[in-house]
Amino acid sequence: MTSGEFGARAGGGKRIGDGTRAVRAGLPEPVKHEPALPGPVFAAHFHLPGEPTGGYAYGRDENPTWTHLERAVSELEAPGQDGVETLAFASGMAAVSAVVFSQLRAGDAVVLPGDGYQALPLLREQLTAYGIEVRTAPTAGDAQLEVLDGADLLWIETPSNPGLDVCDVRRLAAAAHAQGALVAVDNTLATPLGQRPLELGADFTVASGTKMLTGHGDLLLGYVTGHDADRMAAVRRWRKIAGAIPGPMEAWLAHRSLATLQLRADRQTANALALAEALRDRPDVVTAVRYPGLHGDPSYEIASKQMERYGCVVSFSLPARARAERFLDALRLVDDATSFGGVRSTAERRRRWGGDAVPEGFIRLSAGIEDPQDLVADVLRALDESAQVTDS
Ligand SMILES: *Cc1c(COP(=O)(O)O)cnc(C)c1O
């Protein structure tokens, strides 16, 4: 059995479980006296006598440590699918930019979510400067469908960050393809164990590996996975031009972290749901609790059809900026920090960045792997303590 075959099936043709897949993803054939996951290869160039005939030559083009990681991500994003390719990048934004700038030309039109990742407005400015028309519409209600006419690329982010709205990827992808548009899905929040956009009809799945995919808050990484060889060749070419490549150490750490992805994702998902339920039970102070896996959430119905895990991010609002700041201050097990997806819980008042269109008291909370009862108790205590203004 090659490692690639392990991506999908164990003996008897039965699809193997996510935990098994994650722990074996991308591992090379075992070699006597060699480690299971070969260490990072630090090399700017490789021995290359005579004619360059493919293989590793220069470190901006290819690196064996990336190759292992890229195979692993392909096995997670598209188990059992042939011809799928993944390219690793220095960050999520490097991956996003690689798809957008390699696939679009002046005169093209792209549909972005109006409520997506906070760097999308910067991307929009750059695209517009290059003569590419940018349209936006909200993620909720599949509203991007309404501005799709004549577009060349549809960019989907579901669940959206930080509002946690969800759209129907199958429906949007079918509509986009019917009129010749490509479809890319930002899969950062869900991770490939939460949803697999290529199976839902997308041409590209793109993500930041900085968040829950690697989960320890100690590296930045991005990737693009796709199944069209020509399209992926253009993405590869862009990586060579822009040079936004991951370091071997980051790529190796990321691959090592994938082994625990299912454990982390299951625990973080369960913790997020426990927190969402506890917060919903405090309508005296908490409003607009959002979690795609919460029964009754506006995202739940579609999310439950296309997601297997709902991610670790919960959002909610406190009555005012000061109350939200006191709440964050009072938390002991949840660090006040940006980003999400790490093993240690974090939360932040999103408006401090100015970008997202959310209320002053809007909190984005990322559930870590702490014990659920400790986490819920800490959040409820901080909610109560934040009611009183203290001098300390
Ligand atoms: C963080 C994030 C990105 C950007 O990833 P970086 O690794 O920070 O460059 C893109 N999309 C979403 C949804 C994100 O949360």
Q: Note whether 238 and 314 are same-domain residues.
A: no
Instruction: Please say which residue of 258, 274, 307 terminates a domain.
Output: 258
Compute the distance from residue 284 Cα to the ligand 1 centre, in Å: 33
- pLDDT per residue as tens, the chain (392 positions): 344 445 455 555 567 999 999 999 999 999 999 999 999 999 999 999 999 888 999 999 999 999 999 999 999 999 999 999 999 999 999 999 999 999 999 999 999 999 999 999 999 999 999 999 999 999 999 999 999 999 999 999 999 999 999 999 999 999 999 999 999 999 999 999 999 999 999 999 999 999 999 999 999 999 999 999 999 999 999 999 999 999 999 999 999 999 999 999 999 999 999 999 999 999 999 999 999 999 999 999 999 999 999 999 999 999 999 999 999 999 999 999 999 999 999 999 999 998 778 999 999 999 999 999 999 999 999 999 999 876 55
Q: Note whether 252 and 309 are same-domain residues.
A: no
Q: Note whether 168 and 110 are same-domain residues.
A: yes
Beta bridge partners of 317: 287, 362
Count structural domains, the chain. Answer: 2
Q: Measured from the CA of 161, which atom of ligand 1 is nearest? A: 13
Per-residue confidence (pLDDT) for residue 389, from 0 to 100: 76
Q: Note whether 42 and 106 are same-domain residues.
A: yes
Number of alpha carbons in the 13 Å side-chain half-sphere of residue 114: 14
What strand order describes the sheet that includes 346-349?
Answer: 287-290, 313-317, 362-366, 346-349, 335-336
Question: DSSP states of 298-355 as a string?
Answer: TTHHHHHHH-SS--SEEEEE-SSHHHHHHHHHH-SSSEE-SS---SS-EEEEGGGGS-
Per-residue confidence (pLDDT) for residue 4, from 0 to 100: 47
- Size (the chain), residues: 392
Ligand 1 pocket test, candidate residues 120, 123, 188, 189, most atoms within 8 A of CB: 188
Distance CA 55, CA 212 (A): 32
Report residues whose beta carbon is within 6 angstroms of any ligand 1 atom. 91-93, 96, 117, 157, 161, 186, 188-189, 208, 210-211, 220, 222
Ligand 1 pocket test, candidate residues 89, 93, 213, most atoms within 8 A of CB: 93
Q: Note whether 252 and 123 are same-domain residues.
A: yes
Question: Which amino acid, 390?
Answer: T
Q: Is residue 25 part of a domain?
A: no
Name the helix (H) or strand (E) containing 149: none
Compute the distance from residue 157 Cα to the ligand 1 centre, in Å: 11
CB-CB contact of 333 with 311 (8 Å): no
For the chain, the maximum distance between any two Cα atoms, rounded to a whole number of angstroms, is: 75
Q: Note whether 103 and 242 are same-domain residues.
A: yes
CB-CB contact of 34 with 27 (8 Å): no
Q: Measured from the CA of 116, which atom of ligand 1 is nearest? A: 13
Compute the distance from residue 386 Cα to the ligand 1 centre, in Å: 30
Nearest Cα to 161, choosing from 368, 382, 362, 376? Answer: 362
Name the helix (H) or strand (E) containing 169: helix 169-178
CB-CB contact of 356 with 227 (8 Å): no
Compute the distance from residue 93 Cα to the ligand 1 centre, in Å: 6
CB-CB contact of 98 with 239 (8 Å): yes
Cα–Cα separations (whole angstroms), residue 194 to 71, 135, 144: 18, 28, 22
Q: Which residue has the tokens 């992808």?
A: 173
Tell me the pairing of strands 182-186 and 204-208. parallel
Q: Is residue 2 part of a domain?
A: no
| Closest residue CA from atom 5 of ligand 1 | 92
| Closest residue CA from atom 8 of ligand 1 | 92
Q: Note whether 230 and 266 are same-domain residues.
A: no
**DSSP 8-state class, residue 249:** H
Q: Is residue 9 part of a domain?
A: no
| Closest residue CA from atom 2 of ligand 1 | 208
Instruction: Please say which residue of 258, 273, 304 terminates a domain.
Output: 258
Nearest Cα to 319, choosing from 236, 386, 232, 378? Answer: 386
16 phi and psi angles, rounded to 5 deg? -80, 160
Structure token pair of residue 377: 């108790």
- Residue 187 sits in a domain of what CATH number? 3.40.640.10
Distance CA 37, CA 25 (A): 10
**Domain assignment of residue 82, given as a range:** 30-258
Instruction: Please say which residue of 258, 293, 313 terminates a domain.
Output: 258
Q: Is residue 22 part of a domain?
A: no
CB-CB contact of 208 with 188 (8 Å): yes
Could you give the angle at the alpha carbon of 135 between the alpha carbons of 129 and 136, nearest 5°?
A: 120
| Closest residue CA from atom 7 of ligand 1 | 92
